Structure 1
């Protein structure tokens, strides 16, 4: 007996919101009794490590050491579907049996990740449940890549500059200071791009600096929740370069270039709360012993979608005819989808996870990322999200999971269940403001052209019926009544 999971639209990587379609194939060498054939989908993150702690044993009145396990788990989705409903007396005949399935991944998911103290995994498990016997199981891992668009992280286009200095003491004689200045044109980069580092060293001391090094570090933080909150850290160097030294009473100004490697993994773990990844650029002026080095650090971000409108030094100035469109909602231009849709194979679609599933929003506040009430990905033209939303649970005509403003290229004759760019549920960006604008284009509401009361004769006893009575009229009216 054999059990295998075969995916039809998976080429080694998948994305949040994508439909995973495939089939379970089981081959029986003889007739088998079974309760059910199930398919399970699960996405979760976990952290785990052990630490030695000392404690006081009151029974022996001695200090002892014990090994404590720290762990945490975060589940993004967990669904189980029955493909074949059997029973105690249900038998499956000998031969090869195929059961198709499809599943729509949730929208907000962190990338797959493997670390020293934790991981993020997405699995599909097939199970043949047999009465009074061990179950047959098979499992496959999905490599999920969650795109990170640098254009929607504030502050990445701002240049950075800083300066540090220190005084060098040599043989109890104080000499001049060493000044180290570095600058970056921006903070956000993608694999394959170059980081241009402006550097300046002024050495007014009697000690020569041996060299200057620049490194980009990848810092990974693992967080545990049980039995208490603890943190574990990993540090890796992903890029580095080295420049020559600066002699005593000398100075040097230059530009160092660091290339972001393309063969490394840069997962997007923003939706994860127990594993965090950050990057930083560190510059160091190496001084001879016994002097300490001069260090300076900058935070940076590495994503998958580069900043638009920025000249890429690796490729030269961008071509205006072939450059990627910006996300400024230009009328009539539809940006390309970030990944190709997976074709449906004409099988029933497993229902999407309920809205109450524990999907984690993006962090908000001063974290430097999107607020929780904003979409994690760029908006497409017509205010329609470029990533698919959950389709209805019951789909009778197998409509495609992605919308391109018209019928799906994979299912002819079937219209898309999602509104096209001309049927956007949001008002167009060129619509007039809901409040009247004042003369001159300001956003303050304009005053009415005429006052609610006439300006002539209001205080001079005018006979205008619309004007309120003046003080003299009111006094005369009071005297007449008396």
Structure 2
């Protein structure tokens, strides 16, 4: 029976189910090992792995598959493989803090019909006795800081006028739809106005506004597409000839966990969003209006703050925190004689790659330790009161006479 009774990974944001890490952000956590008795440990390793997978069956019954690996990095927190004596740990619970810096060039997490992008952290304990071995894994989510283009922050308008034949006479159906903007952040609401004028012989039976996610999966020089509605507002009613229907300030929510448009840095999955307004009529006929819609994980102004002192480049993922100063060859921060804190330091700024693993005693932070890191997906949920801000009017759906 193994002496390791529990092995778990607790990330800093495990208690915050809404949190998604950003590329370039430091993931902090603790490896917990519980031993039933004093045990000799040879090795404790942590591995971060991310991959994208695509698989579907074509009309010819052939299966098309593709895979991409975005992160495959591991580090030994405890390593006595080449030592004479293993690490002796007493009975009880032991914790091993760890940090990992996500690379910048990784895609957002995604789960779809024919493919996915996943992130997993795995911890492995290897005892001197082969029975004292345990493995545990913990998934986590990643969301890119994708800016919404300026044009997508402007109002979006669509109009249509259709001549329709009914009972040997022509009539006309006029549709006008306006969105308050052509893009949004997951978890927010998009507001729309719509007006329908029915001068045709058909009866309108329903109006529906939808956000549709279109995903293209690629594998083996082939591709397949899948469309799914991620949000909709449906209004079922009868609008006869000479009548109309008006929507005023109708809310269309963006789901909080959809990835950003394009799914950057993933070559086998591509995402696009479409806003669709559909009018259904008797006899099975319908009129559709569609326009591209941009989903961004972070609008302008929510970037990771710059830290000039800690602005040195970090490529290798494994880092640790400490209290001692680093000595930089160029006389940078931490050099007590000619460092950045010394008025006499005139050395130019030199970028370094910190790739020596756990041997470093201090790592430059991407964020200030005192700074509150808030998931940009949920900025809208903060109850800030702006002076002079007007109340959002209630949505209204009503019939009108022409």
TM-score normalised to structure 2 length: 0.66
The equivalent residue for 2:354 is 392
In structure 2, relative to structure 1, the CA distance for the partners of 1:116 and 1:252 (3 Å cut) is closer
C-alpha separation between the residues in 2 aligned to 1:120 and 1:254? Answer: 38
The equivalent residue for 1:56 is none
Q: Is the CA contact (8 Å cut-off) linking 2:41 and 2:89 kept in structure 1? A: no
Q: Is the CA contact (8 Å cut-off) linking 2:40 and 2:129 kept in structure 1? A: no
Q: Report the secondary structure of 1:38's partner residue.
A: strand
C-alpha separation between the residues in 2 aligned to 1:232 and 1:20? Answer: 34
C-alpha separation between the residues in 2 aligned to 1:127 and 1:287? Answer: 61
The equivalent residue for 1:267 is 259
In structure 2, relative to structure 1, the CA distance for the partners of 1:243 and 1:229 (3 Å cut) is same
Q: How far 1:136 sits from its partner (Å)?
A: 3.0
Give 5+ residue unaligned stretches, structure 2. Answer: 307-313, 319-350, 372-402
The equivalent residue for 2:309 is none
C-alpha separation between the residues in 2 aligned to 1:392 and 1:127? Answer: 24
Given the alignment of the two structures, is residue 181 of structure 1 paired with residue 176 of structure 2, yes or no? yes
Q: Is the CA contact (8 Å cut-off) linking 1:126 and 1:137 kept in structure 2? A: yes
Q: How far 1:301 sits from its partner (Å)?
A: 2.1
Q: Is the CA contact (8 Å cut-off) linking 1:239 and 1:261 kept in structure 2? A: no
In structure 2, relative to structure 1, the CA distance for the partners of 1:21 and 1:196 (3 Å cut) is closer
Q: Report the secondary structure of 1:156's partner residue.
A: helix
User: What do residues 335-354 of structure 1 show as CA deviations (whole Å, max 9, x unaligned)?
Assistant: 88579xxxxxxxxxx97259
The equivalent residue for 1:9 is 12
1:283-362 aligned within 5 A:
283-289=277-283, 291-306=284-299, 352-353=316-317
C-alpha separation between the residues in 1 aligned to 2:68 and 2:259? Answer: 17
User: What do residues 118-161 of structure 1 show as CA deviations (whole Å, max 9, x unaligned)?
Assistant: 222111112235799585321111122333332xx242134333
Q: How many residues align?
A: 317
Given the alignment of the two structures, is residue 111 of structure 1 paired with residue 108 of structure 2, yes or no? yes
C-alpha separation between the residues in 1 aligned to 2:101 and 2:370? Answer: 19
The equivalent residue for 1:79 is 73
- For 2:158, which of 159, 162, 171 is the aligned residue? 162
Over aligned residue pairs, what C-alpha RMSD do you find? 3.7
Q: Is the CA contact (8 Å cut-off) linking 1:184 and 1:196 kept in structure 2? A: yes
C-alpha separation between the residues in 2 aligned to 1:250 and 1:29? Answer: 77
In structure 2, relative to structure 1, the CA distance for the partners of 1:211 and 1:393 (3 Å cut) is same
Give 5+ residue unaligned stretches, structure 1. Answer: 54-66, 308-326, 328-334, 340-349, 355-388, 411-482
Q: Report the secondary structure of 1:42's partner residue.
A: strand
Given the alignment of the two structures, is residue 95 of structure 1 paired with residue 98 of structure 2, yes or no? no
Given the alignment of the two structures, is residue 229 of structure 1 paired with residue 222 of structure 2, yes or no? yes
Given the alignment of the two structures, is residue 47 of structure 1 paired with residue 42 of structure 2, yes or no? no
Q: Report the secondary structure of 2:153's partner residue.
A: coil
In structure 2, relative to structure 1, the CA distance for the partners of 1:79 and 1:305 (3 Å cut) is closer
Q: How far 1:37 sits from its partner (Å)?
A: 3.0
Q: Is the CA contact (8 Å cut-off) linking 1:218 and 1:238 kept in structure 2? A: no
Q: Is the CA contact (8 Å cut-off) linking 1:30 and 1:93 kept in structure 2? A: no
Instruction: Point out the structure with the larger strand share.
Output: 2
1:183-222 aligned within 5 A:
183-191=178-186, 193-219=188-214, 221-222=215-216
C-alpha separation between the residues in 1 aligned to 2:85 and 2:253? Answer: 58
Given the alignment of the two structures, is residue 21 of structure 1 paired with residue 28 of structure 2, yes or no? yes
- For 1:147, which of 145, 148, 155 is the aligned residue? 145
Q: How far 1:7 sits from its partner (Å)?
A: 3.5
User: What do residues 178-202 of structure 1 show as CA deviations (whole Å, max 9, x unaligned)?
Assistant: 2323233420223454433333333
Q: Is the CA contact (8 Å cut-off) linking 1:117 and 1:232 kept in structure 2? A: no
Q: Is the CA contact (8 Å cut-off) linking 1:239 and 1:258 kept in structure 2? A: no
In structure 2, relative to structure 1, the CA distance for the partners of 1:10 and 1:182 (3 Å cut) is closer
Q: How far 1:236 sits from its partner (Å)?
A: 2.6
Q: Is the CA contact (8 Å cut-off) linking 2:279 and 2:287 kept in structure 1? A: yes
C-alpha separation between the residues in 2 aligned to 1:252 and 1:409? Answer: 53
Q: How far 1:27 sits from its partner (Å)?
A: 4.1
Q: Is the CA contact (8 Å cut-off) linking 2:28 and 2:99 kept in structure 1? A: yes
